[in-house]
Structure 1
C-alpha cells in the first residue's frame, strides 16, 4: 500500500486551508481594524508577521507535496493538454500571485508599523491584501473543481 500519496495530499490540503484561511482572516478581520486604528501596532505586526511565516512555510510544503502529486499524477502533456492539468497550472499561477501579494502587503504594513505608523501603512497594504484574499477564494474554487471526480 502506498502511504506517501495520501500523506502528501493531506499535507497539501492542510497547508492550503491554513494559508488561505490566514490570508482571508487578515484581509477581512484584521486589516479593517488597522484601518480604523482599533488595533495596536505590536499586535498587528505579530499577526502579519505570522501570516508571512505561514506563507513561507506553506511554500515549502506546497513545493514538496504539490511537486510529488504533479510528478506522480501528471505528465507534461496531461498538465498542458487536459482540463484537469489546466486547473493544476491555474492553481500554481494563483499561488505565485497570492504569495507575491502577501509579501508586498506584509512588507508595506510592517515597515510602516516599524516607523510608528498604523493607518497609512494599512491603507497602502489594503489593495494587496484584498487582492490576495479575492484570489484565495478563486484558488479554493479551482481546488474544488479539481477535486470533483466528475469534472473533465
Structure 2
C-alpha cells in the first residue's frame, strides 16, 4: 500500500474512532449522571466544550483526509460516485457525516444553554435525543466504513 494512503487511512480511522467514542461516552456515561443530578454544571460545561472541540476537529480532519483519499484512489469522477457500490457508500458516508456534525452541535448547544444557567438535569434531558441520534449515526458511519473497506 502507498505510504501516503496508509497514513491517511490511519489518521481517518483514528479520528473517526475518537469522534464516535466521544459521542457514545456522552450518551451512555455523562447524560444519565447529569439527568440524575449527579454532575454539577461546571464539569458538565467542561465536558460539553471538549466534546464540541473534538467533534469539530474530527469533522475537519475527516473531511480533509477523506477528500485526499478520494483523490489518491481516483474517486473524483461523478460516474464513480453515482454508479458504483463504492460510490454509493462514499455518498452515504458524507451524508451521515453531515448529520452527525449537526446532531452533536445541537446536542452540545442544548447542554451548554443549561450549564450557563447553572442547570444540569433539564439540559441533559433536552440534549439526550440529539446524542442518541448521534450515537446511532456514528454506529452507521462505522458500518458504512466497514462495508467500504470490504468492496
* Shift, 1:3, TM fit: 2.4
Paired position in structure 2 for 1:54: 54
Paired position in structure 1 for 2:115: 113
TM-score of the superposition, structure 1-length normalised? 0.93
Paired position in structure 2 for 1:142: 144
Report runs of 4+ in structure 1 exceeding 6 Å deviation.
none
| Whole-Å separation in 2 of the counterparts to 1:63 and 1:141 | 18
| Whole-Å separation in 1 of the counterparts to 2:81 and 2:98 | 17
SS of equivalent residue, structure 2 residue 143: helix
SS of equivalent residue, structure 1 residue 18: helix
| Whole-Å separation in 2 of the counterparts to 1:66 and 1:104 | 24
TM-score of the superposition, structure 2-length normalised? 0.94
User: For 1:62-115, what per-residue CA distance to the aligned partner results, in whole angstroms no more than 9, with x for missing partners?
Assistant: 121000011222122111111111111111111100110000010111111111
Paired position in structure 1 for 2:31: 31
| Whole-Å separation in 1 of the counterparts to 2:138 and 2:2 | 31
Deviates more, 1:72-81 or 1:94-103: 72-81
Q: RMSD of the TM alignment (CA)?
A: 1.2
